Amino acid sequence: MPQAQIGPIAVHYPKRRETNEQLQAEFPDWDMDLIGQKTGIESRFIAEPNETSADLAVAACEKLFAEHGVDRQCIDFILLCTQTPDYPLPTTACLIQHRLGLKQSCGALDFNLGCSGFVYGLALADGLLRSRAARNILLITAETYSKYIDPDDRSLRTIFGDAAAATLIFAVDGQEGVGAFQFGTDGAGADTLLVSDGGTRPSEHAIKPRHRKRWKSRLYMDGPSLLSFTVEAVPQLIGQVLELADVSSDEVDIYLLHQATRKMLEQLQSRLQVDESKLPIRLTNCGNTVSCTLPILISDLRQEGVLKPGSRTLLIGFGVGWSWAGCTWQVGPKFG
């Protein structure tokens, strides 16, 4: 039975880099030292006004093909995770297929998920591979949350960054890859992180923010409620994944968690009673890139030599929706 394995990853950021020092100069009354301590973020990348998620995605894919010797004609399916598509329709993944010059027998679809999206994408890819509908899948995450954020919004501008990541997911036989998927959904939390305009629901009937909206941004976030949700849901999710995989916590070499903020990750580390060396934090130079954080984290840890072939890891995503998902991943020999 074929199983999904995570292959090479290519990450692409916009050219414009925004630092905390620049924000401090622009807004002298912002306490950027305190904000930096809480978020763990010192800079983030911001897309240009005419630069879209598809533009970032195409650049990441071209980098994947060039730097890792991936033949674009071997791609059987595109899975694009984004909450900032180029258009309501057509499907952005179809536009990417055309721009990349992939074969017309290639399947392509978008799915709208945020911080849990990479794990959901792995599950979709694993299903396609197990059913033998595909052998090589391009899992793309691409986000330009900055387009939803007002420049004066201290609560959001200091956290979110734009990015895209292209990951080759391929079938392996007789080897461990990803598995033991577990999911969670609670739409009651939709009012804690949302963009309520731009869809087909009339504004007078749209979901209202949980608390008073303090900023002009189209994006609203209730940080305290998200933190409370996360520290409750994630430990339970990890327990469910470990039970399904019949693995003890001691057998996990590294926990790969969505890179939300340093404060949130440190609270999870404390709650899980995991040594900081087993729960890496790598968002200092790029910020919270939503669905891109996990592939960026994997790419960084590979370059650092932290992820070694055979390492047993947990991949955990959580956030907007509310939506959360987790799985096991044994690092493969070829790209680990």
Q: Among all residues, which ones are annotated catalytic?
A: 115, 258, 288
Neighbours of 60 (CB within 10 A): 25
Pairing mode of beta strands 77-81, 107-111: parallel
Contact call for residues 253 and 311 (beta carbons, < 8 A)? yes
250 Cβ contact partners less than 8 Å away, ≥ 6 residues apart: none
Q: Where are the alpha helices (DSSP H) in the chain?
A: 20-26, 32-39, 53-68, 92-100, 117-130, 154-157, 223-245, 262-272, 293-304
* Element containing residue 6 per DSSP (H, E): strand 3-12
φ, ψ of residue 228 to 5 degrees: the values are: -60, -45
User: Which token pair is 12?
Assistant: 């692409």
DSSP designation for 135 = S
d(CA 129, CA 125): 6
d(CA 98, CA 62): 13
Pairing mode of beta strands 323-330, 178-185: antiparallel
Closest by CA to 279, choosing from 256, 298, 260, 259, is 256
Contact call for residues 194 and 150 (beta carbons, < 8 A)? no
